């Protein structure tokens, strides 16, 4: 524990949003505790000697401000930024004013967006995975959000090299569900590629969704030039093709023209014209 200037403490907006509003009753209760010297230190992450991020203790911080205190006792902890929100929720669950139904639902949405599994969310709330699952399934918005996040997580885990069974154990969902999600993902990519969407555009589109797709991974799913769609002037594009590399060409060229490959002049590209 250490004592620091209150002005050194910043408030994370996501953490602040855990509570819709502050409780005047709770602030008053903490003012009494501070005046009697019985209040506990607030929880913070220490960035440096003059920068601290509040994790737990909003009501205590407000109580000190109302008492015109310049300093406050804090307990600094080491924590990754990505874990600050879930730690703040867990601390709120352990003491103080109970969460309202609306506050709890917004917290669930945020934790699902962060990619937390039902088991991880259960530990944060001090509940079983089954209890969290029931809460999510009762709410259509939460249920849809969980399904979307599960799909993204499954695809990213497989792209990262994990087997379908390993992904099923992590989330946790059935192995067959993981295989279905992966199959749908592959089919979507292949369909869009066959419709003429360039590979880089496919990658950019998936990255916007939160999927860590790279060109190397995409080439494993769709081999280079597999069913490639060529759009352009047939008189310019056909000579670029390798000899005997085409099974069927659908074009509407002028009559009486032979197309020769630039690679082997002695061979004419074999093709069947369909009008």
Which domain-ending residue is among 185, 200, 221? Answer: 221
User: Closest Cα partner for 157 from 169, 146, 147?
Assistant: 169
Most confidently modeled range among 6-10, 79-83, 214-218, 241-245: 6-10
Report if residue 133 sits inside a domain. Answer: no
Q: State whether 211 and 249 are in the same domain.
A: no
Which domain-ending residue is among 36, 55, 80? Answer: 80
Q: Which domain holds residue 58?
A: 1-80
Report if residue 92 sits inside a domain. Answer: no
Report if residue 97 sits inside a domain. Answer: no
Give me 216's structure tokens. Answer: 């190397």
Q: State whether 203 and 256 are in the same domain.
A: no
The 10s digit of each residue's pLDDT in 160-184 is 999 999 988 877 678 888 898 899 8
Question: In the block, which residue shows the tokens 């295989």?
Answer: 179
The 10s digit of each residue's pLDDT in 232-260 is 777 777 777 666 666 677 767 666 665 55
Domain containing residue 55: CATH number: 3.90.1530.10
Q: What is the pLDDT of residue 118?
A: 78
Q: Is the pLDDT of residue 69 over 50?
A: yes
Q: State whether 204 and 238 are in the same domain.
A: no
Q: State whether 28 and 76 are in the same domain.
A: yes
| 62 or 113, which is more confident | 62
- The answer to whether the bond into 172 is cis (omega within 30° of 0) is yes
Confidence of residue 229 (pLDDT cuts 50, 70, 90): low
Q: What string of DSSP letters covers the chain?
A: -EEEEGGGEEE-HHHHTTSSS--HHHHHHHHHHHHHT-PPPEEEEEEETTEEEEEE-HHHHHHHHHTT-SEEEEEEE---GGGHHHHHHHHHHHSSSPPPHHHHHHHHHHHHHTT--HHHHHHHHT--HHHHHHHHHH-HHHHHHHHHHHHHHHHHHHHTT--HHHHHHHTT--HHHHHHHHHHHHHHHHHHHHTT--HHHHHHHHHHHT----HHHHHHHS-TTTT----S-HHHHGGGSPTT--S-B---PPTT---B-SS-TTSBPP--B--
Confidence of residue 65 (pLDDT cuts 50, 70, 90): very high
Q: What is the pLDDT of residue 70?
A: 95
Report if residue 125 sits inside a domain. Answer: no
Q: Residues near 43 by Cβ (< 8 Å), separated by ≥ 6?
A: 54, 55, 56, 57, 74, 75, 77, 87, 91
Q: What is the pLDDT of residue 224?
A: 62
User: Once rounded to an integer, what is the mean pLDDT over residues 192-207?
Assistant: 88
Q: Taking all residues of the chain, what is their mean pLDDT, rounded to a whole number?
A: 82
Judge residue 112's burial from the number of C-beta atoms within 10 Å of its C-beta, 0-12 exposed, 13-18 middle, 19 or more buried: buried
Most confidently modeled range among 47-56, 94-103, 145-154: 47-56
Side-chain half-sphere CA neighbours of 117 within 13 A: 14
| 239 or 155, which is more confident | 155
Q: State whether 75 and 1 are in the same domain.
A: yes
Q: What is the pLDDT of residue 275?
A: 33
Q: State whether 209 and 166 are in the same domain.
A: yes
Q: Residues near 249 by Cβ (< 8 Å), separated by ≥ 6?
A: 234, 238, 271, 272, 273, 274
Q: Is the pLDDT of residue 261 over 60?
A: no
Q: State whether 30 and 71 are in the same domain.
A: yes
Question: In the block, which residue shows the tokens 């592959």?
Answer: 186
Report if residue 62 sits inside a domain. Answer: yes
The whole-model pTM stands at 0.54
The 10s digit of each residue's pLDDT in 135-152 is 888 888 887 877 787 888
| 268 or 48, which is more confident | 48
Report if residue 94 sits inside a domain. Answer: no
Q: What is the pLDDT of residue 253?
A: 66
Report if residue 90 sits inside a domain. Answer: no
Which domain-ending residue is among 47, 80, 113? Answer: 80
Give me 36's structure tokens. Answer: 């009697």
CA dihedral for 197, 198, 199, 200, sign (positive or negative): negative
For the chain, the domain total comes to: 3
Report the share of the chain in percent with pLDDT over 90. Answer: 30
User: Once rounded to an integer, what is the mean pLDDT over residues 194-222?
Assistant: 88
Report if residue 107 sits inside a domain. Answer: no
User: What distance in Å separates the CA atoms of residue 223 and residue 217, rounded to the nearest whole number?
Assistant: 10
């Amino acid at each position: 524990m250490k004592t620091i200037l209150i002005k050194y403490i910043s408030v994370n907006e996501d953490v602040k949003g855990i509570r819709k509003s502050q409780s005047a009753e709770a602030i008053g209760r903490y003012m009494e505790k501070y005046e009697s010297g019985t209040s506990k230190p607030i929880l913070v992450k220490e960035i440096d000697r003059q920068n601290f991020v509040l994790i737990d203790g909003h009501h205590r911080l407000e109580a000190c401000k109302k008492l015109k205190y310049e300093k406050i006792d804090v307990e600094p902890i080491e924590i990754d930024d990505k874990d600050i929100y879930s730690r703040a929720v867990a601390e709120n669950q352990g003491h103080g004013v109970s969460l309202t139904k609306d506050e709890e639902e917004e917290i669930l949405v945020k934790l699902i967006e962060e990619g937390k599994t039902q088991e991880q969310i259960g530990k944060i709330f001090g509940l079983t995975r089954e209890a969290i699952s029931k809460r999510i399934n009762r709410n259509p918005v939460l249920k849809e959000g969980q399904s979307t996040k599960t799909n993204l997580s499954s695809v990213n885990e497989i792209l990262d090299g994990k087997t379908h069974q390993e992904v099923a154990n992590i989330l946790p969902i059935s192995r067959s569900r993981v295989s279905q999600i992966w199959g749908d993902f592959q089919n979507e990519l292949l369909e869009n590629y066959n419709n003429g969407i360039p590979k880089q555009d496919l990658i950019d589109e998936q990255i916007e969704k939160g999927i860590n797709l790279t060109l190397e991974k995409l080439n494993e799913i769709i081999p280079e030039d597999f069913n490639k769609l060529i759009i352009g002037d047939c008189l310019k594009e056909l000579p670029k093709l390798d000899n005997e590399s085409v099974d069927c060409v659908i074009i509407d060229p002028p009559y009486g023209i032979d197309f020769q490959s630039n690679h082997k002049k002695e061979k004419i590209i074999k093709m069947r014209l369909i009008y």
